Structure formats: structure tokens, C-alpha cells
Structure 1
Amino acid sequence: MKDKDAFVHPTALVETQDLGEGTSVWAYAHVMAGARVGRNCNIGDHCFVESGAVIGDNVTLKNGNMVWEGVTLEDEVFVGPHVFFTNDRYPRSRRGGSPDMPPIEKTCWLVPTRVKRGASLGAGVTAVAGVTVGEYALVAAGAVVTKDVAPHALVKGSPARWHRWVCRCGHPLDFTQSVATCSECGLRFEKKGQGITLL
């Protein structure tokens, strides 16, 4: 049910009945029926959220984002301006069929993409269909994500590659040994296998 405490700008179009308490939808944004948007989210100007997209609590969508069916943004995700999600690896225009192309079922082309809790995507990131961005990962502006991103990883470039580890607060971690303490918030992490864990 659409929460009466949500704010919807007069120029926004919100068709979903699943808009959480405290969420704000700003100018010229469109949230389709069947999209799910959690509590305390901020959906910026000119955003589009398609039916079947799932947005958790405390998510920030900066201006100009398109969140398609099959995309899940977990709680506390930050999406910078003009991030590009995709949901089809081999797109074609005609889904209903034509004399030279038979109909294609959604199950044959829809590829889920997930951005996990606390992760951030910088401005202009492209996330190819089917990737998972791990918890508290940070994807640098303009990166092209073609494969899964590990939790707490900072990735950058095209294609996006691991650069270093980051804290839950987003600041870089300096692993001079097997343990690092965040200089910003004081959380401590340990290298474990191919990743890091909170101590």
C-alpha cells in the first residue's frame, strides 16, 4: 500500500501501491505499478522505476536513473546520477513476435541484477545484466561492471577491476598487515581468503 507519509512531487507519476513510509519521489520521476519501494528512500528527478523492480529501505537514487524489472537494490544502497542498469544480455526490439521472429518468453531473456546492502555506485556506472555487487562495495564513477563485485571491494575502470578494499563507511582501508583499522570510523577488518571480514 502507498504510504500516506511518503512525499510525491506534483510532477512525478507514482502508480505503485508499494511505496514506503518517509520515501520522497521528486520531479518528473515515474514509478510504475508493480514496483516495490521501501521506507525512507529518495528517488531523484527524472528517475524511472519499472514494474518488477525492487528497492529496499533507505536507498538513494540520484537524478536520471532507470531501474528495470529484474533489478534489486537492497537496503541502504546509493546510486549516483545516470547509472545504467540492464536486464537482457541479448536484447531485441520485438518481444511479441513477427513473421520472421517468434515470440520470446520473458523467462528466456530477463536476467536479474542485484546490488547488495550498503553498496554504492558512482555517477555513470554501467551494470551489465546478471551481476551482483556485494555488500558495502564501491563502484567508481564511469565503471562498467561485467562480473560480480566482492563485498567491500572498490572497483573502477572498463571493465571494472578490483582496486582496493573499503570500509562500511566507504573510506579506503590500508592493509599494511592482515588487519586494517578504518581511519574514518574506527571499524577493524581482517583479510580472509579472497575477501575481508569485520572484526
Structure 2
Amino acid sequence: MPVVNARIDASAELADPALVNVYGCTVGPGTRIEPFVEIQRGASVGARCRIGANAFLCEGVSLEDDVAIGPGVMFTNDRHPRAVTAAGTLMGPEDWTLEATRVGAGAVIGANSTILCGLSIGAGAWIAPGSVVTRDVPPGASVAGVPATPSHPSSLLNPAEAS
């Protein structure tokens, strides 16, 4: 798994460079990237972020500073994915529209969450593990579920504490 044409700050840490696929992206200072992560060209990761194992950051994803991405988090960048065009030929880069996603400073995205494309996740937002985010998340909001909806932060960790 390669690290190719990526601008990675010297203070960033790749837990095991042989076990990541990082190419054509930027990674800020103090960021830690765990094994089996893919960060595609055109993605950007800010300072002091933590990217958990098996996460996928596709082209068009932008993380501001201090963002935590849990293990297995998946981002998307195509609202209408298809394998072939209407004419039956394999789709190429010209056959789809990239939809960018921005994650604000200090946001936390829990393990195994899926973030649909074209969204904005506000600064300090908290997304519970296993959530599917289909709409923008306001700054400081806590969301959970499929689809992700507003939730009290304590209920995200312990359902018995929900108010």
C-alpha cells in the first residue's frame, strides 16, 4: 500500500507506512493515521487529527484541525454512483460529479459511521458510532442513528442515561 505524491507534514505520524494507501492528499502537522487507512488525492486533513484504522477519506473530503475519525468511517463523494454509463460503457472520471464534504474543527465521527457526500459537519459536532449521516450537522450538535438525528450526548454512549 503506497504513500505517493502526498504532502504530509514532517510531524504527522503514520502508524505503519507500509499499511496505508495515502496519495495526492495533504496531511497537517501532528496528525496520526492508523493502519489500513486510505486517503485519496484531493482530500485534505488538518493539524492534530486522528484517523482510525480502516477509515476511507475519498477525494473531496476536507477535515479541519483537531478532528477525530473513528475506525472504519467511510466518506462518499458521488451522489449517484454507477458502474456503467447509459450507453453501457464503464464510467470514467468525466461521467460523475464530485460532491465535497467538509468536517469542522474538533468534530468527532464515531467508528463505522458513513458520511454521505456534499455535507458539512460543523465544528465540535459529535457523531455516534454506526451512524449514517445524510444531512448537514450543525456546529456542536450530537447526532446518532440511521439516518443520524439529533441526540443528547450522554445517550450516545449509554442508552440508559438518555433523558
TM-score, normalization: structure 1?
A: 0.70
Partner of 1:140: 128
Written as runs of structure 1 = structure 2, the 5 A alignment for 1:188-199 is none
SS at 2:143 equivalent: strand
SS at 1:90 equivalent: coil
Partner of 2:30: 40
Counterpart contact for 1:152–1:165, Cα < 8 Å? no
- CA drift of 1:98 comes to 8.5
Partner of 2:78: 88
In 1, Cα distance between equivalents of 2:91 and 2:35: 35
In 1, Cα distance between equivalents of 2:46 and 2:5: 14
Distance 1:103 1:140, change over 3 A: closer
Partner of 1:24: 13
Deviations 1:114-173 (A, max 9, x none): 11100000011110111111000000001110000011111001110111379xxxxxxx
In 2, Cα distance between equivalents of 1:44 and 1:164: 29
Q: Which runs of 4+ in 1 moved over 2 A?
A: 97-108
Identity level (%): 34
Distance 1:158 1:17, change over 3 A: closer
Distance 1:29 1:163, change over 3 A: same
Distance 1:103 1:65, change over 3 A: closer
TM-score, normalization: structure 2?
A: 0.85
SS at 2:142 equivalent: strand
Letter in 1 for 2:99: V
Written as runs of structure 1 = structure 2, the 5 A alignment for 1:126-137 is 126-137=114-125
Counterpart contact for 2:46–2:63, Cα < 8 Å? yes
Higher helix share: 2
Partner of 1:56: 46
Unaligned runs of 5+ in 1: 1-11, 167-199
- CA drift of 1:25 comes to 1.1
Greater RCO (Cα-Cα under 8 Å, separation 6 or more): 2
Q: Note the aligned Cα RMSD (angstroms).
A: 2.2
Distance 1:106 1:74, change over 3 A: farther
Counterpart contact for 1:16–1:36, Cα < 8 Å? no
SS at 1:31 equivalent: strand
Distance 1:103 1:145, change over 3 A: closer
Deviations 1:31-73 (A, max 9, x none): 11x2111111100010011011111111100100111000111
In 2, Cα distance between equivalents of 1:18 and 1:103: 29
In 1, Cα distance between equivalents of 2:94 and 2:117: 14
SS at 2:151 equivalent: strand
